[in-house]
Structure formats: structure tokens, C-alpha cells
Chains A and B, each alone.
Chain A
Amino acid sequence: MTQAFDRHTLFFPETDGEAYTLGPLQSGPLCCVPEPLIRVTNLSVSYGNHPALKDVTLDIYRGCITALIGPSGCGKTSFLSVLNRLTDMIPGCRVEGGIRIGGQDILAPRLDVSALRREVSMIFQKPNPFPLSIRRNIEMPLREHGMKKRADLDEKLERVLTDVGLWAEVKDRLDKPALALSGGQQQRLCIARALALEPSVLLMDEPCSALDPLSSGVVEDLIGRLKGRYTVVIVTHNLAQARRIANYAAFFWLRERVGTLVEFGQCRQIFEAPAHDLTAAYVNGARG
């Protein structure tokens, strides 16, 4: 594995729009600048009286892909949705502990949640494009966030669709329903829609698991290309996928019916030299 890295591409350039355009596939360094962007300390999440996640402390590094692995129901999705406060939408959900993104406390009650969610975007397991045209799927959120000029919108549309490799496929039917696209195309459209708002963090909740193997491969390649430009946190049940694309991996497990973080480290270490027996059993397919 090469250790060489190009600071220019790995550091987050200032957001002048252009900086977010994806280049060709990066031959990825093992890890990026080891600078934590998201610092999670003693995070606990509970729904009503039922604790879902307990005492998680973890740093997520800027520009890297961090994979969350572990069996179903061990709090990975809860962890993910706390990071952009989507948990606010679940009645009875309580969050304790601290999360700082770029130094800012995102659990502060008076935080502008809408601004946070633009910065920390989420891609869901099931592709969820709006029942609008392909064009309006991208444009509507942009307009809502204040981009009104036709030329800007058009330019943005082409750029993000190119970034996710969809432009050539859909440029002749931008005003056709987004729901008529195939599952993989829909998921890439959702990623494009998120990228259009120029987030710095992308949360992905099993983005490939509802797709057929071919589309899944295309989306996976795309996620790999996001490395360096975006900080990606991805939940996946596909260990081979985690191994292929992630720089870091966090292994969650259910202890006394509550999700906990067992081990966190560089992806290679988690898969090749896990420090914990549970991790070893899980990544080798012996448990879970």
C-alpha cells in the first residue's frame, strides 16, 4: 500500500464550488491526512426507554471513508442519523454525549439543523428520489436553498450528474420522471442531489444493498471516487465492500441488547489484525 498522498487533493479546498468536482478515479492512499473532522465522545442513543447505542467514542477522519460494520440492530443506523440530527424526527429519541463536527457542537439545541443537514448529507438504503423530473430532483433543493439563476442551476445540474456518471445516460431525458430510472441510477441521482448542495460529509446507510450486483458495483466505484473530496461514513453489511473502499472501519456489536462500539481502526488492521476476538470472529465470518 502506498503512503504517498497529495495534500492538495486530500485537504479540503475552500468551498468555491469548483473544488468539489470529482476528478478521475483516485488511486487511493491507505489513509488520508489523519485529521479528525467528526469527534464523537460517549455517545448514547435511546428510543423511549430502550437504549439503542451506548457510550460510543470515535473520531472520523477528514476526506476518508469510514465503514461501520456489524450485525443488524446494533445501532449503526442510529449512529449515522445522529450525525445530521435526523434522529430529531423520531419521537421519543434521546441523544446523550458529544458530537463535534469541525469543532462545532452539533447537538446544541439551538443549532440550525437545516444548515447542518446541508453540510452533512445522507444517502438512504432504498433510493428515494422525489416523484419529480430528474431535473427538478436536483433543482428543487437548490432553489429552496437560494440558488435561483437559470444558468447556475443548469451548470450545477450538469456538473453533479457528470460527477456521478449519470449525465450521458440521462441528458436527453432530464424532464422525464426520476422514478422511471433503474434502481442504481436512482441511487446515483440521490447522491448527485446530495452533492449539489456541496456537503462536506456524506452519510450512507447501506447504499448498495437494495441494488442488483451490477448497479451495486457502479455505485461502489462512485463512492470510492468520493474519497478525498468528501468525508464518507458508510454502513455496510458487505464486508468485502467495506474492505475494498474504506480507509477506516468501526465494528459494532450487540452487548446485553445494546449496540456498542467494539473496535475502531484502520480498515486493514480491522480485517487483517483485529485486536478483539469478536471482531476477528465477525470479519472471518465465524459469527454474526
Chain B
Amino acid sequence: MAEAESLAVTRRWLPEALMTLAVWGSALLVAGIFLWLLGDLLWRGAGHLSWSFLFSSPLNAGRAGGIAPILVSTLLILGVAVAAAVPLGLATAVLLAEFLSSHSRFGRLVGLSLDVLAGVPSIVFGLFGNAFFSIFLGLGFSILSGGLTLACMVLPILVRTAEAALRAVPDDWRLAGAALGLSRTAALRHILLPAASSGLVAGLLLGVGRAMAETAALIFTSGYVDRMPSSLFDSGRALSVHIYDLSMNVAGGDGNAYASALVLIGLLILINGTSLWLAEHWLNRRILTP
């Protein structure tokens, strides 16, 4: 018995070890790349970071001063994008996952167009946003046109992830709901959406991440004016645009570019953390699994 066991162990030892090495190695590599990037940013940018950097206006084309108006513009653009994309995206996902069968022609058409949209380069979204929101709708270079352009851009991600999250909810609960005479709205509100909430939030975070990182689509729509915006119809410079401008067009702006990048990453981590916490404690507070 003992002999048989030891034989089995020796024979399986090598592939097991290789597999373990590959899995751990890949994970460490991924983590390593992120840490390296973060370390580099910290190394070069942390020195420029201070409270006054966050709360003052840029001076001398961004070489000096801070990023207060840029931070405000970024959050406003993001707010517009999320406010426009989330209801639209959620409604579309509900239609696709709950009301249309996966074979329906219309559903497949919508899905296909979303997949094509997801693959369109952001510069094309920028041109579209410029032509449609800025010129055709007359919104000009404004936070509103920038936000709406971003909304179009993240919509495919939102819809596809939300649809997948809803489809992952077991059919048992839909049947149970129907058998109790619950309306579809009630089932969605009480069971399906809360049960899918962690997937929905994950999709939202992917979308927010993509929106925060976006530069090309914003240059043509929200513009790059670095004054403090006084309304959504003002042009506003997003953080990503600011980083791009400092590192490409402004000699001697590198330090502040690194600091701004650090702020951008910090903001993303903050938003991720808050959303996950909200999902855990608020969205699905009534969903109880053992």
C-alpha cells in the first residue's frame, strides 16, 4: 500500500511542480508589472504630490501649480458618463437577458452591434462625439459632450457584463418567482438584480476604468481648457488629457505628469473600493447566502 502510494507520487511529481510554477509565476508576473508601474510613478511623482497640488490651479501650462480644476472636470465628465450609461446599459442588459430568448433575432442583432462597438478605437468615438454632440447637437467643447461620448464608449462593456451577470443568476429563482405570481419587475427588483449585483458592479468598474483612462475621445469633445468649469457646458480638461499634454507638449512638465498619474490611479482605487463596499453592504444587503 505504502509502496503504491510512493510510486504514484514520484510519477506525478514533475508535471505537478511545473504546473504550480507556471500558475504562481504568472500571477507574480502580473502583480509585479503593476507594482513596478506603481513604484515608478511613486518614485518620480510622489515628490510633487501635496495637498496644495490637489487644491490649486495649474500655472505655467501645468509645470507648476496643481490640478484642482482638472480633478473637478474629470469627476464631472465621469459623472455624466455614468449617469447616462448606467440606466441605458442596465435596461438593455435586462432586455437581452430577461425578456428576449438567446435565439431571438433582435437580441442577436443588439449583441452583435455591441460587440462591434466594443472594438471601435476610442479616437473614432472622439470623432463621432465631436460630430454628433459638439456640432450636431450644438453642445460644443463641453463636459457634457465629453461625458456623453464616454457613455457611448463604455456602454458595450456595461451591457455585456450586466447581461452575463443576470444570466448567471439561476433560473430556479425566476421559476420560483413566476410560480408565486410575482411580476417580472418584482422578481428583478427583489431577487435577480440584487443577486447579480456583484457582477453588475464589476462591469461598472471596468467601464469606469476605461472612461478614466480615456484621452483620445475627450480631446475632441470635452477639450483641454484647464480653467475651473462653471457648468456642464464649459470645456474641461480630464486628468488623462492633462497627463498626455504635460508629458507630450510641455517641456519640464514630467514631474507634474507623474504626480497627476498617481492621482488618477489613486482615484481609480478609491472608486473601486467604494463601489465594492457599496455592493457588499448596500446593493445586496438582503441577499443572504450561507
Contact = CB atoms under 8 A, between A and B. Distances in A.
Given A86-B175, A126-B172, A144 B186 contact: yes
B61 interface: no
A39 B142 CA distance: 67
Given A126-B172, A130-B173, A141 B180 contact: yes
Given A128-B172, A128-B175, A140-B190, A177 B181 contact: no
Interface in B149-180: 172-180
Contacts of A122: 175, 179
B182 A131 contact: no
Interface of A: 84, 86, 89, 91, 113-118, 121-122, 124, 126, 128-133, 136, 140-141, 144-145, 176-180, 190, 193-194, 197
Contacts of B290: 177, 179-180
A133 B288 contact: yes
A117 B176 contact: no
B-side interface size class: 20 to 34
Given A86-B175, A124-B176, A128-B176, 15 more contacts: A89-B175, A116-B181, A117-B178, A117-B179, A117-B181, A121-B180, A126-B172, A130-B177, A141-B181, A144-B182, A144-B183, A177-B288, A179-B288, A190-B176, A197-B180
Nearest to A91: B101
20 contacts: A86-B175, A89-B174, A89-B175, A89-B178, A122-B179, A126-B172, A130-B173, A130-B190, A131-B288, A132-B190, A132-B191, A132-B287, A133-B286, A136-B286, A141-B181, A176-B288, A177-B288, A177-B290, A179-B288, A190-B176
B176 to A, nearest CB: 4
Contacts of B174: 89
B52 to A, nearest CB: 49
B289 interface: yes
Contacts of B180: 117-118, 121, 141, 193-194, 197
Top 10 A-B residue pairs of the complex, sorted by shortest distance between their CB atoms: A177-B288, A180-B290, A117-B181, A122-B179, A128-B172, A114-B181, A118-B181, A128-B176, A141-B180, A91-B101
B288 A132 contact: yes
Contact of A86 (B103, B172, B178): B178
Nearest to A89: B178
B243 interface: no
B238 to A, nearest CB: 40
A28 to B, nearest CB: 26
Interface string B265-290: 00000000000000000000011111
Given A117-B181, A179-B288, A179-B290, A128 B173 contact: yes
A131 B174 CA distance: 12
Nearest to A130: B191
Contacts of B195: 131
A185 to B, nearest CB: 12
A145 B180 CA distance: 10
A217 B33 CA distance: 59
Contact of B289 (A114, A115, A121, A179): A179
A211 B148 CA distance: 53
Contact of A132 (B175, B178, B183, B286): B286
Contacts of B181: 113-118, 141, 145, 197
A169 to B, nearest CB: 16
Contacts of B182: 114, 141, 144
Contacts of A91: 101, 103
A89 B289 CA distance: 27
Nearest to A197: B180
A131 B287 contact: yes
